[in-house]
Amino acid sequence: MTTFSTTPNPNPASPQRRQEILDAPGFGQYFTDHMVQIQWRGNVEAGTGEWEQPQVLPYGPLSMDPASAVLHYGQEIFEGLKAYKHGDGSVWTFRPEKNAARINRSARRMAMPALPEELFLDSLKELVSRDKDWVPTGDGQSLYLRPFMIANEVFLGVRAAREVLFSVIASPAGNYFGEGTAVDIWLSKNWARAGHGGTGNAKCGGNYAASLIAQMEGDAHGCQQVIFTDPQRGNAIEELGGMNVFFVFDDNTLVTPELTGTILEGVTRDSIIQLAKDRGMTVQERAFTLDEWRDGVNSGRLTEVFACGTAAAISPVGRLISDTEVIGPDDARPGEITMSLRKELLDIQTGRGEDRHGWLTRLA
């Protein structure tokens, strides 16, 4: 167990204020009383460096030099996972070792230092133990954990930064999209979020920045989400701005885009593949094109589409909309398999269902 040096927040939220927030947390608007910080100094190129004393500090603004590398060259990566309070008051999270491994894959791509997995997990445990009262207990509610890493070396030269900060903050969360309503998604034809050899499979802020213009385009057409394709592979479907995507066929088959390096390897994606296999479904990870989507809907063989990620768990997709066509019925309703996979996943995460794969880790 890592030892953290702790500075308790001298002005924590009052129990009354905290309860107000937990009654209607929304998403990503309110933060708990503390945060974790661990500073690294070293040289990624030379393979040297060390993580300094892990700290728990009062939640608050970072003091940063305007010449900090992240502000100029965007060396930034992050993670997202949820903690749930179970019936007995204990707090658990879902497959955090996957996030620990992924932040290191992202770090490698972005020329940032690896973080020992134990330090990642201990940071979550430390923060959640300290701010345990911030874990909401309402249906579908959780404490969203946001680990992130930024280059905070003060230097405008272009190279891998030699000072990096790892931090974890936590934010009580309600239901991301509300309860299982089908969302329309916009097909981005003008913009890509990732390209071959790029950073599509790293969880970095830059990918999100690149997706926002497409999301604005979608917003303007009444779509809550946007989906990207790979024009170099016959418009193979990739993923949404921050979620992976699945297609359900009437012959008990589930199809999801294969990981080509331009798609983020979601923990939710991986878990759904397992749950579907457990049910005896055939799961195919393969190229799946826009034409197949259209043909599947027209023939009636493609019966359900859903998106998935930690924030929204599983979210039914209604129509796919572009400037030239609409694919899917106007009255799309959440599909049966979509909603049953969603329930199974949420039951495991919230401790209502059996954790038969050992996916849960106790945080507090």
Ligand X SMILES: *Cc1c(COP(=O)(O)O)cnc(C)c1O
User: Where along the sequence are the contacts to ligand X (CB under 6 A)?
Assistant: 80, 203, 207, 239, 242-244, 264, 266-269, 309-310
Neighbour-count burial of 356, counting CB atoms closer than 10 A to its CB (0-12 exposed, 13-18 middle, 19+ buried): exposed
Nearest approach in angstroms of CB 244 to ligand X is 5
CB-nearer residue toward ligand X: 28 or 42: 28
CA dihedral 193, 195, 198, 204 (to 10 degrees): 20
DSSP string, 271-303: HHHHHHHHTT-EEEEE--BHHHHHHHHHHT-EE
CB-nearer residue toward ligand X: 194 or 281: 194
Going by C-alpha positions, the residue among 74, 9, 62, 23 that lies closest to residue 210 is: 74
- Is residue 125 within 8 Å of 132, Cβ to Cβ? no
DSSP reduced 3-state for 319: strand
- Show the beta-strand stretches assigned E in 26-105: 34-43, 48-51, 55-58, 76-78, 81-85, 91-94
How does 260-285 read in b/e, with b if 16+ C-beta sit within 10 Å? eebbbebbbbbbbbebbeeeebebee
Nearest approach in angstroms of CB 269 to ligand X is 6
CB-nearer residue toward ligand X: 106 or 123: 106
CB-nearer residue toward ligand X: 152 or 256: 256
Distances (CA, A) of 199 to 110, 193, 228, 239, 284: 8, 9, 14, 14, 24
Nearest approach in angstroms of CB 3 to ligand X is 29
Q: Cα–Cα distance between 127 and 122 in angstroms, integer? A: 9
Nearest approach in angstroms of CB 310 to ligand X is 3
CB-nearer residue toward ligand X: 80 or 140: 80
In the structure encoding, which two tokens stand for residue 279, read together?
């049910």
Count CB-CB contacts under 10 A for residue 172: 27
Q: Cα–Cα distance between 8 and 270 in angstroms, integer? A: 38
Task: Tell me how many degrees the CA angle 342-302-140 measures, rounded to the nearest 5.
Answer: 15
Nearest approach in angstroms of CB 346 to ligand X is 13
Nearest approach in angstroms of CB 193 to ligand X is 7
Nearest approach in angstroms of CB 224 to ligand X is 15
Nearest approach in angstroms of CB 43 to ligand X is 28
Nearest approach in angstroms of CB 340 to ligand X is 19
CB-nearer residue toward ligand X: 54 or 200: 200
Angle, in degrees to the nearest 10, between helices 117-130 and 96-109: 120
CB-nearer residue toward ligand X: 272 or 297: 272
CB-nearer residue toward ligand X: 218 or 242: 242
CB-nearer residue toward ligand X: 152 or 268: 268
